[in-house]
Amino acid sequence: MKEKVILAYSGGLDTTAIIPWLKENFDYEVICVCIDCGQEEELDGLEERAKFCGASKLYILDVVDEFCDEYVMPCVKAHAVYENKYLLGTSMARPLIAKKLVEIARKEGATAICHGATGKGNDQIRFELGIKALAPDIKIIAAWRNDKWTLDSRESEIEYCKAHGIDLPFSADSSYSRDRNLWHISHEGLELEDPANEPNYDHLLVLGTTPEKAPDEPEYVTMTFEKGTPTSINGEKMKVSDIIRKLNELGGKHGIGIVDIVENRVVGMKSRGVYETPGGTILYEAHQQLEELILDRETTTMKLDMGNKFAQIVYEGKWFTPLREAVQAFIEKTQEYVTGEVKFKLYKGNIIKAGTTSPYSLYNESIASFTTGDLYDHHDAEGFINLFGLSSKVRAMKHQELEKENK
């Protein structure tokens, strides 16, 4: 019997060409695995395509709820944002994909896992770190880094497929390189390769519209959270995946969550991309608006640092590490009382506060108001300031003393 290889399969040109390439160069039985994280219509016709191209079978695994509950929500709770802009849409899905590839490899008794990520990107790191952490004994084949891979363009891949009896309606025309799941869609290539160019949003956008073309009337939205997890929109209780779907609809309509960024990849180069994360942007903002009422100053300060660390961990593909588990444990503890209701309005790319309430709010009007309340005596501030600024005063006094001695 032939050895089996698991191929991470999207149905695109690259992974379609990899099927005959694996059979020809390694004599493997090729088993395709497509992990459904919410790609929607991209999954249409995949099984027929995979088998037509020479795969012995195709698994399509619906992991949308697991993706949202166990990978997206930890990032939301952490307010994990890479380089102050990127909401980790591609990054957070990769460890789950790696996990499922390993599960199918074990089920099928496969000796290798193959992926079609390029040798210039982050995804090769994320896939391979995940596989190594979960199955160090399984061989990894990165087609684009393999010496036997000589296909360097869409045209050459199309010709290779035709030579192997695969004549599918792939276009040789260049288009944006996209990655889509329930959380977001990313766009790279074409005019975006030059940071001097403005994105052609009319041609580019998939999930929504620009703020200029959004409705002229604002739309109010109310959300509830329990322990940091969203539970309803406008009074309708929903699971997390359905909340993200609804927020995508609302955010796309109002031009929310379009980010144009030049980011620093793990491999050392800068890359420019446009990300659409309409629902995710709203969810991050709503969650943070609620947290403002509940977390104390020191916890807030520490959580900002831990959120940045969590973003770095996810971006670099280090999900299956003790560090991620430890940071996530800290984040989960901070969410214990993040329960309440957030109201905001969406208007031409903006998410505008319209009122936040929580039974655990630390905001106390008696203390915070300009009128003197029972819990705060203005005179108490004098002693606090004297002690809080003592080191600064001592230093200034010493400098004054030295200046007098040197005259």
At 301, list the tokens: 């300060």
Cα gap 203→209, rounded to integer Å: 11
Pairing of strands 29-36, 185-188: unpaired
- In the three-class reduction of DSSP (H, G, I as helix; E, B as strand; rest coil), residue 378 is classed as coil
177 is catalytic: yes
Instruction: Name the DSSP letter for residue 330.
Output: H
- In the three-class reduction of DSSP (H, G, I as helix; E, B as strand; rest coil), residue 29 is classed as strand
CB environment 186-207: b (16+ within 10 A), e (fewer): bbbebebeeeeeebebeebbeb
- In the three-class reduction of DSSP (H, G, I as helix; E, B as strand; rest coil), residue 278 is classed as helix
Say if residues 178 and 186 touch (Cβ distance below 8 Å). Answer: yes
Determine which one of 10, 36, 94, 186 is catalytic: 94
14 is catalytic: yes
Q: Report the chain's terminal Cα–Cα distance, integer Å.
A: 94
Residue found under tokens 């990520």: 117
Phi, psi of 9 (to 5 degrees): -115, 125
CA 30-31-35 angle, 5° bins: 140
Say if residues 54 and 24 touch (Cβ distance below 8 Å). Answer: no
Using CA atoms, how far residue 59 sits from 46, 101, 107, 219, 390, in Å, is: 10, 10, 12, 41, 67
Among candidate residues 118, 51, 71, the one with its CA nearest the CA of residue 314: 71
377 is catalytic: no
Query: If 0-12 CB within 10 Å is exposed, 13-18 middle and 19+ buried, where does residue 305 land?
Result: exposed
Kindly provide the residue ranges of all beta strands, DSSP E only, lying in 265-334, ordered along the sequence.
270-276
Determine which one of 36, 49, 123, 241 is catalytic: 123
Determine which one of 177, 232, 271, 361 is catalytic: 177
Q: How many C-beta neighbours within 10 Å does residue 178 have?
A: 16
167 is catalytic: no
CB environment 105-129: b (16+ within 10 A), e (fewer): beebebebbbbbbeeebbbbbbbbb
Cα gap 5→109, rounded to integer Å: 9
Cα gap 79→83, rounded to integer Å: 12
Determine which one of 10, 14, 36, 186 is catalytic: 14
Q: How many C-beta neighbours within 10 Å does residue 225 have?
A: 25
Catalytic machinery residues: 14, 94, 123, 177
